[in-house]
Amino acid sequence: MLEQRINEVFGDKDPTGFGTGWWSGVLSGFFGLLAFGAVLCLHFPQLLSSPELRPHYPMYLIRLLIQLVIVGAIFLGVMSAMLRRKKVLALTGLLLSLGATLLGGASVPINQDLHNGPAIGLDWFLLDMLLMTLIFSPIEVLWPAYPKQSVFRSEWLTDIVYFLSTHLPIQITTFLILLPATQLTAVLNIPALTNAVGHLPWLVEFFLAVLVADLAEYFIHRAFHTVPFMWRFHAIHHSSKSLDWIAGSRSHIVDDVVVRGFILIPMMLVFPHDMLVAYLFFVNLHATWTHCNFGPTIKWLEPYLIQPRYHHWHHTSQKEAIDKNFAIHFPWIDKIFGTHYLPEDKWPETYGLHNEKIPPGFAR
């Protein structure tokens, strides 16, 4: 098993707390991998960067970020090598950062005229992985709901592959997600309605956008649980036996495309483009956070906004909570439709599927 082999090569029996060189080694390898991938994107921008994102890149800041990541990988690699007996992690980070530097680093010029066409979204994968890791990994390490759960828990590699699988084919998935909504919008579009909604105060408009999206999400999500054919796809998302931010990426491409496409249909009919962008940014952060291994809960906010404890109960294999908590943002939607479940001050004891088996690994 590849995951076990990676753990054996890079892991050891020494302590992994702060000051032991473990975390500096992990971060060195992580930053080194990001730097190497980013430099490859500079060398092959037509193939490896998303045409939809290219016009929005402030290249000065992107190059600065690449340089900082390279320096960070070198600094952390040296620190890990000094502190830890086993040097594999440190050397990996140093070699990757050295490779990125030898390939030209952040100063690689883009000497070709870029145009729309087939591309792999490696740039989107690297940026999103960096952002999500910097936001959510620290809070999981510092304030975990399950302190004994390792960052590199069982099946962590499978979930990274799922994360990769939703980012690299971004052109294909974006086309499939947008297709139903764009076709319906062309026929059913009511400009007066979109214009009226666009003149509402921004916070009111944003709240309405989240509400419309969550209602659509509730019904399609519930269908994926109750229709046997649809459940066969969605069961993959529920097969994680441990939950953290990366586990939220475990989703079959059919599940992912149908859910997002269904949500966009009412939103594109009602809301202007800038509100769709704002919602997509919000849902990316909020949905990732609700999967986190993050213990603190704002008690007074629990009835109004979904937090990790609430969504964790949706992922439990405990019989009393199965097919509950379908909403993504507002728990009171589940109360309205009779699917709300949140015991006082308790977290689930078990996760995954109840009396069902799914083959391990991404391909199977």
Query: pLDDT per residue over 32-58, tens digit each?
Result: 999 999 999 999 999 999 998 999 999
- The burial of 197, by beta-carbon neighbours within 10 Å (0-12 exposed, 13-18 middle, 19 or more buried), is given as middle
Q: What is the dihedral of CA 351, 242, 123, 41, to 10 degrees?
A: -140
C-alpha–C-alpha distance, residues 254 and 260, integer Å: 10
The model's pTM: 0.92
Give yes or no for a contact between 146 and 294, defined as CB atoms under 8 angstroms apart. Answer: no
pLDDT (tens, 9 = 90+) of the chain, 364 residues, equals 788 888 888 888 888 888 899 999 999 999 999 999 999 999 999 999 999 899 999 999 999 999 999 999 999 999 999 999 999 999 999 999 999 999 999 999 987 788 888 899 999 999 999 999 999 999 999 999 999 998 899 899 999 999 999 899 998 999 999 999 888 888 877 777 888 888 899 999 999 999 999 999 999 999 999 999 999 999 999 999 999 999 999 999 999 999 999 999 999 989 988 999 999 999 999 999 999 999 999 999 999 999 999 999 999 999 999 999 999 999 999 999 999 999 998 999 999 999 888 888 888 8
In the block, residue with structure tokens 């979904």: 306
Instruction: List the structure tokens of 321.
Output: 């909570």
Please give the backbone phi and psi of residue 316, each rounded to the nearest 5 degrees, phi first.
Answer: -75, 155
What are 202-209's contacts with CB under 8 Å, separation 24+? 205/271, 205/275, 206/275, 206/278, 206/279, 206/282, 208/270, 208/271, 209/267, 209/271, 209/275, 209/276, 209/278, 209/279
pLDDT score recorded for residue 196: 85
Per-residue model confidence as pLDDT tens digits over 312-327 = 999 999 999 999 999 9
Residues 6+ apart with CB under 8 A from 172: none
pLDDT score recorded for residue 193: 81
In the block, residue with structure tokens 């909504």: 181
C-alpha–C-alpha distance, residues 264 and 42, integer Å: 33
Q: Which amino acid is at 72?
A: G
